[in-house]
Amino acid sequence: MAEEETFADLREGVRKLCARFPGSYWQALDRDRKYPTEFVTTLAQEGWLSVLIPEAYGGSGLGLAAATAVLEEVHRSGCNGGAAHAQMYTMGTLLRHGSEEQKDRYLPAIARGDLRLQAFGVTEPTSGTDTTRLTTFARRDGDRYVVNGQKIWISRAEHSDLMVLLVRTTARDDCAKSTDGMSVLLVDMREAVGNGLTIRPIRTMLNHATTELFFDDLSVPAENLIGKEGDGFRYILSGMNAERILIASECIGDARFFIDRASAYARERSVFGRPIGQNQGVQFPIARAYIQTTAAAQMVADAAAKFDAGEGAGTEANMAKLLASEASWFAADMCVQTHGGFGFAEEYDIERKFRETRLYQVAPISSNLILSHVATHVLGLPKSF
């Protein structure tokens, strides 16, 4: 198949690793809402999370297209990259905008798997997707910043050594533009928790290690400021494009997981003396899922190629994420329908993936916001308020 012609050796390596973590491994973790520490550690130590880190810092020095192949295969194999994928795109903020001293200090350890940079602190309870209205504030006090505020829907905070944190360093009303006055701090979670940072887990319908964060006079060294004070929104945006493309690739992997499972079951399951896959009512939804997934995968590839070429890929990243998330959700629904009652049984490991892939209709950006972006930025339609 065409998708296997790109990065074939890389894909095969990921499949071999994932074979060591079958559905039973994920089911057990899902029941108890436990973090897949062994899986994440293995991914990191074997170099799969350092694909985008330059060779000078101990990584593979490959592009985003290679990273999409890694995460696609993780999900097609039935695993969940959501426990680790942030290390790929969050690292980019440090790589592109950090000082040489910061990069030398952190990137090699991240590449080796000795440090986890998994947490990405942006969303707040009162601002949601309107990032310009975030209120978590970092006040400069000598050689430190003092942080106060709150974040929500922050995944992996309990399992990360470092966090990229977006804060205001100038009040919104005092800025010429609403996107000014925000800065990025690199927070050492090992020092912060219990010393001004409180983490509260949020139980959700899927095992995604989601939390709420509370900052009460958290002290962060000024040397942990990434880039220039006040330019943080621009730094974060560049990382968000990579995030959307990578998550789109996970959706493609999920969709192919569902298509593989549905096709196999339709060939093997016999009712009324013949395979159910012989019925067009079963065949056609599987075929449609395959067509939708193939088309969405091409959009993901186009977005990754544009990103790797250093071109503005915001629109392509958004479109890739929308198409891929819709393809994966259609495939998920189709797969459950194909399996009938067995699709709801934990034994078949469909219902877990069904819950996991539903997230991407909402996060990291909702489908409606993507449609709004295309309407106003591409088609020139007036903004809605």
Catalytically active residues are 243
Start-end of H helices in 214-231: none
The CA-atom distances, in angstroms, between 378 and each of 37, 182, 319, 375 are 42, 26, 11, 6
CB atoms within 10 A of CB 175: 15
The residues near 106 (Cβ < 8 Å, ≥ 6 apart) are 94, 98, 115, 117, 162, 186
The first and second tokens of residue 74, run together, are 């993780």
Calpha distance 330→8 (Å, rounded): 27
In sequence order, the β-bridge partners of residue 216 are: none
| Residue 241 and residue 231 in contact, taking contact as beta carbons nearer than 8 Å | no
Host H or E run for residue 264 = helix 232-268
Nearest to 366 by CA among 151, 91, 123, 73: 123
Host H or E run for residue 137 = strand 137-141
3-class DSSP state of 139? strand
| Residue 254 and residue 332 in contact, taking contact as beta carbons nearer than 8 Å | yes
